[in-house]
Amino acid sequence: MNYVWDLFMSQDPPKPPTTFAEPWRVVPWRDKKKDFDYVTAYEPHPEAECLRVLLYGPPGTGKSSFINSVDSALRGRISTRASAASGYDQSFTTKYRSYKIQRETPGTFYSLVFSDIMGIEKVSGRGVDVENIKLIMRGHVHDGCKLFPGGTPTGSDYRESPTIKDKAHVLVCVISAATLNLMDAEFVRRIKEVRQEAEAAGIPQIVVLTKIDEACPEVKKSIRNVYMSKHLKTQMEQLSVTVGFPMNCVFPVQNYSEQTETDEDTDTLILNAMRKIIDYGQDFLIDNIPPTEPKNRYSE
């Protein structure tokens, strides 16, 4: 009797499950082709020329890696064009630079432009400051400009009268799920400031939540657990509450960082996020480019 009791007491209480029984959001695993075709076929209004996606966020969260990951998912091989590095407290990217993704035929490109900037840093005097993000968002900064905190672009770096093709059409805040709990209040304040400015300019906003593999062992085991993981859902809810992004604007991805080959499931999440980015950006273009007058057939 004592033996049975001792045995019972020596056992740890059962741990609550770390995953849901059913995913809380539907992902078209094994059907990435739909999103792939959607992204590859996308053509914005000719006045916009391309859909301009501006990425921002704290340093080292995976902004440059996300550009490389979309490039990799579209081209079917790992790309490392946007410089990514393993620095975490200081921004590795130091310029405002735009990237296009090449189609199979050399010299032809997808209708997407990614603008990569250095991270927002919590220490003033480093990284990109919020004033400069506002200028980039409104199309005042020329590509290739080196941004100095506290200073604004002047001369040939400054565009006096931007048109719709120079402005950001969708703003993507890149946050790491692995360090979300450690995110400083100062980061949150700066991100909120950018959000308010984007809201005032009517620019749609999305969050790409990276490093989900580092944040959750279940996801590391299989990326298909992304919407089964209780931990990740809590992270997303927390992000939504602290920074104010609605849950349906948050898209978790795992960037290509160590892999040497692309894979279907990683591509699926990246392309799914990309499709949403296109949809949101397209709404902005519809609202901001007046429809062309239908041709009057009697005046020809």
Ligand X SMILES: Nc1nc2c(ncn2[C@@H]2O[C@H](COP(=O)(O)OP(=O)(O)OP(=O)(O)O)[C@@H](O)[C@H]2O)c(=O)[nH]1
Judged by CB under 6 A, which of 211, 226, 243, 268 binds ligand X?
211
Residue 197 binding target from ligand X, Mg ion, none, CB below 5 to 8 Å by type: none
Judged by CB under 6 A, which of 35, 129, 166, 213 binds ligand X?
213
- Range list of H helices, 121-184: 130-137
Using alpha carbons, list the distances in angstroms from residue 209 to 37, 40, 201, 237, 271. Answer: 23, 23, 24, 12, 14
Residue 233 binding target from Mg ion, ligand X, none, CB below 5 to 8 Å by type: none
If one asks whether residue 183 binds ligand X (CB under 6 A), the answer comes out as no
Judged by CB under 6 A, which of 87, 144, 151, 202 binds ligand X?
87
If one asks whether residue 59 binds ligand X (CB under 6 A), the answer comes out as yes
Strands 170-176 and 97-102: unpaired
* Least CB distance to ligand X at residue 194 (A): 14
Single out the segment in contact with ligand X by CB under 6 A; choices: 17-25, 83-91, 143-151, 184-192.
Answer: 83-91
- Residues 79-138 interacting with Mg ion (rule: CB under 5 A): 93
Residue 144 binding target from ligand X, Mg ion, none, CB below 5 to 8 Å by type: none
Task: Tell me the β-bridge partners of 19.
Answer: 229
Task: Tell me the β-bridge partners of 170.
Answer: 53
- Calculate the CA 79 to chain-centre distance: 17
If one asks whether residue 64 binds Mg ion (CB under 5 A), the answer comes out as yes
CB contact at 8 A, 200 and 82? no
- Residues 114-143 interacting with ligand X (rule: CB under 6 A): 118-119
Using alpha carbons, list the distances in angstroms from residue 20 to 91, 122, 238, 264, 272. Answer: 36, 36, 18, 23, 21
Phi-psi region of 139 (alpha: psi -120 to 50; beta: other; left: phi over 0): left
* Least CB distance to ligand X at residue 39 (A): 19
Judged by beta carbon, residue 149 or residue 162, the one nearer ligand X is 149
Within the chain, strands assigned E span 51-56, 97-102, 109-116, 170-176, 205-210, 250-252
Judged by beta carbon, residue 111 or residue 210, the one nearer ligand X is 210
- Residues 144-173 interacting with ligand X (rule: CB under 6 A): none
- Range list of H helices, 30-119: 32-41, 63-75
If one asks whether residue 268 binds ligand X (CB under 6 A), the answer comes out as no
Judged by CB under 6 A, which of 64, 115, 205, 272 binds ligand X?
64
| Residue 236 exposure: Cα atoms within 13 Å on the Cβ side | 26
* Least CB distance to Mg ion at residue 171 (A): 16
* Least CB distance to Mg ion at residue 244 (A): 24
Q: What are the residues binding ligand X (CB under 6 A)?
A: 59-65, 84-87, 91-93, 118-119, 174, 210-211, 213-214, 254-255, 257
Q: What are the residues binding Mg ion (CB under 5 A)?
A: 63-64, 93
